Structure 1
Amino acid sequence: MREKYLPLTATIVVFLALFGIGGLLYNNFVSTLVLGDILADNAFIIIAAIGTTFVIISGGIDLSIGSMIGFVGVVMANLDVVGWHPLASGALMLVFGLGFGALQGLIIDFCDIQPFIVTLAGLFLLRGGCFMINLDSVPIRNDFVHDFASVSILLPGDGELHSSAIVMLVAWVVAIVIAQFTRFGANVYAIGGDRTSAALMGVPMRRTMVGIYALGGFYSALGGVIYALYTSSGYPLAGTGNELTAIASVVLGGTLLTGGVGLVAGTLFGGMIFGLIATLINFNGSLNGAWIMIIGGVLLFLFIVLQRFLVGSFRLRSAA
């Protein structure tokens, strides 16, 4: 049981180390103000990554995340123009995300097609839908956007836990409960560990697969809603590449791409590591944004190597 927490421990150690390095290099870096901003700025991608964690634990992949974020924002912005309240349009998009994800899961299981292909098609469909609706950035002018942004919880020191971060943390806790304390969560791990054995044990394969991708779609749509409210706009290119960032956040959080091993708890820290790298580069001022990708890629490579080492060690212990 202890072994499954080792990747999570490594993720937390890396996060704390980066935070400590920032504190040594820059004054006032180690503060709740910086922490609150990291949580708020990366809330939408962490939310999407939380849903992706279930997909990857099951041994699957979802490439439609970024397009879903962009599509949700575009629809919400254009519905705002015709008088829809953001809560109403946001609720509609959550239902859409749930249904779209469920459809992808059904196609994957019923047609026995690789998740990569199905979700890649989903990526093209959603991104194409963005451009069909509007080619320009459309602002969301409803007063609710300002009211939502003004909600916050004061943290010790000068920091604040902003509304987007609050929603993200609530979604994170709910996901942990689903993964660790429900039959559905146990089925997800069973499918990711050994699909054949899971079927023999009586796991409802199709229902679980549909549920996994439906949950992933719901969380991606929720990330899109938060992004739209955070930026007060909808833009057809929004979310481009975010599917890769979300997947990387899951891996940095300690989830194996091969499935069966991982914790939703780690995804939060995986996403925050990317945010922390960006913040360190912004504090430096002399480095450009390319270093975010470079450093993130190096860390991702190191974590994959670490995971391979840990998996090899577990197999040796099991064989002994």
Structure 2
Amino acid sequence: MALRQPQARFAVVGQPIDHSLSPHIHRAFARQWSVDLDYGRIELAPSALASGIARFAESGGVGLNVTLPHKQAVMALCAGLSERARRAGAVNTLSYVDGGWHGDNTDGVGLVNDLSQRRGIDLRARRTLLLGAGGAACGVAPALLDAGIGELVVCNRSPERADALVDALAAPERAHSRYWRDLPDLAHFDLVVNATSAGRGIEPLTLPFHLAGAQTVAVDLSYGRAAIDFLAWARAAGCGQAFDGLGMLVEQAAESFFLWQGVRPETDAVYADLRRLADGEAAAE
């Protein structure tokens, strides 16, 4: 597949969006391949999602990354969906093809690539707790199963959403739903993935310490300030390893870049640059 012509328009859409590092990441990828990339941020309220995305296409837009709170709602605007998007029930990457938007989901492969390739973590047979059942959780759950984890327990404050996610996974022997009130009764996990908004100024993060231990890997799908509370819990619970979602962000962006440009960028240098930036900002606070 040939690289797209110079100045094709790309962007990330969400609300809020000012904090997004996606423009920085995609511009770094573009420099590796000498692509003249136009990549911006678009803030849209849910009520303006359809009209805003239509205007973007009319103005020459050919690719969009989709973040909160639009990952599930944007599916209704797609003329076609990849198998990954269908399984996830959520979209984080849009490509304008033959006069319509095609939806894909690169979150799952982004998480798995960060953990298995960058961190060297063997995911096979790990008993996994997935906190949350929204668009981010839906995006990573199928990929975790494909990566060979053992039992997947989905826990959400809204029981119906946890049940719906597990039903959609269609893996009754491996995937099960539990409710937030059940957390004190659950046994130890080898992998804990936080895909909720708990601890981000919306609601407090309260998790029992016995869910994790020295062999547990803890991952928050967010990064920066949004991941502080969960990572603090992971340290207090004695988790052997704990990461925020910055590595996943870079890896899912690399998959989006490949879908749009037909070439795979190198991610380690981009991640290292963002890690230094994020750690520097945290030290300055």
Q: Taking structure 1 as the reference length, what is the TM-score of the superposition?
A: 0.32
Larger RCO (alpha carbons 8 Å, 6+ apart): 1
Q: Taking structure 2 as the reference length, what is the TM-score of the superposition?
A: 0.35
The structure richer in strand per residue is: 2
The structure richer in helix per residue is: 1
Structure exhibiting the larger radius of gyration computed from Cα positions: 1
